[in-house]
Amino acid sequence: MNRTVNVVVVGATGAVGQEMLRVLDERAFPVGALRAVASARSAGGVVRFAGREVTLEAPSPEVFEGSQLALFSAGASVSREWAPVAAAKGCLVVDNSSAWRMDDGVPLVVPEVNPHRIANPPKGIIANPNCSTIQMLVALKPLHDAAGLEHIVVSTYQAISGKGARAVDEFDQQTRALHEGTEPIASVLPGVLAGNLLSDWKHDASGYSEEELKMIEESRKILELPTLHVSPTCVRVPVRNAHSESVWARFSRPITRDEALSILRKAEGVVLDDAVGPAKHPQPRTVSGADPVHVGRVRQDPGDPRALSLWVVGDNLRKGAALNAVQVAERAFGVAR
């Protein structure tokens, strides 16, 4: 592809928006004109892209005129209001919020999993899945293609950066308070996370959190398996960046560990860490900043020849958000990688 693409990044000052700008630059996406959108109170400030300053603008119909791509990461309410406006102005919208994920007219896409859904989205909008769903399905899709998924049991160990920069700052303050012997304060987080674990999402009457329900509904939609059994438990852990997941998956036929390792070694977007032993597994501190999803500790269930256990780690700001969105755009605009 030789032509350039004019791009609007909505939510350009947030953690994911900043990562989107970095990923566009690092991957040499053919950006022509770039417009950066943030809240009205941030308008007039600047962000940096490709070594230059870009002035921030408030949302308006005019900011989307003349652009072909709009990357959104400014929250569901902003996306519900402005994504249709951007699409009507001729932009392909790739939205990182939860606003459009379960809309029947909006594809929910992980490029390594369901790239066929990228072309010609009915509403001009493509949704990014939840970060935890993305990395889990990148690991499981090649195994599903080989053996047919029937049931997933997943426990997540989700990093603080997934809640945003204010949560990271509060975690740092809590950590200092514990070291100083004072009482930690929780206002952004629902409780003390320093030295602790939290269920950090709204719950419904069933006892499931909204994060857990997202993993169920999104997995079914992306894999086009409406009756897939998904049993999630989501937990926030005192790790700054990169989510980890313990995944147990049952398939429609027996699958050995050796077969699974062979499949994962060749899987798109996966790095297999197949060494065995203490600390010889994917870890958030080493995976943070990396693009692929790292898979390790692949084990066959000792009582079920159709089931495997895996340990899956991915950078939630990159593959779990910004990178996935840019990869969707690359495929949509025929950008060679």
Biggest CA pair distance of the chain: 61
Q: What angle do CA 69, 78, 225 make, to 5 degrees?
A: 75
Q: What strands lie across the sheet with 229-236, from one edge to the other? A: 229-236, 149-158, 243-251, 307-314, 293-300, 270-273
Q: What residue spans define the domains of the chain?
A: 5-129+321-332, 133-316
pLDDT at 2: 56
Query: Domain 5-129+321-332 classified CATH 3.40.50.720?
Result: yes
Joined together, the tokens standing for residue 51 give 């070594």
HEC string of the chain equals CCCCEEEEEECCCCHHHHHHHHHHHHCCCCEEEEEEECCHHHCCCEEEECCEEEEEECCCHHHHCCCCEEEECCCHHHHHHHHHHHHHCCCEEEECCCCCCCCCCCCECCCCCCHHHCCCCCCCEEECCCHHHHHHHHHHHHHHHHHCEEEEEEEEEECHHHHCHHHHHHHHHHHHHHHHCCCCCCCCCCCCCCCCCECCCCECCCCCEHHHHHHHHHHHHHHCCCCCEEEEEEEECCCCCCEEEEEEEEECCCCCHHHHHHHHHCCCCEEEECCCCCCCCCCHHHHCCCCCEEEEEEEECCCCCCEEEEEEEECCCHHHHHHHHHHHHHHHCCCCC
- Homologous superfamily (CATH) for 133-316: Dihydrodipicolinate Reductase; domain 2 (3.30.360.10)
pLDDT at 96: 97
CA atoms within 13 Å, Cβ hemisphere of 114: 21
Mean pLDDT, 10 residues at a time, over the chain (337 residues)? Answer: 88 95 97 95 94 96 98 96 98 97 97 97 98 98 98 98 94 97 96 96 95 98 98 98 98 98 98 93 96 98 98 97 98 89
* Interatomic CA distance for residues 2 and 286, integer angstroms: 36
Give the residue among 242, 232, 241 at the shortest CA–CA distance from 201: 232
* Interatomic CA distance for residues 329 and 331, integer angstroms: 5
Which residues are tagged catalytic?
131, 243
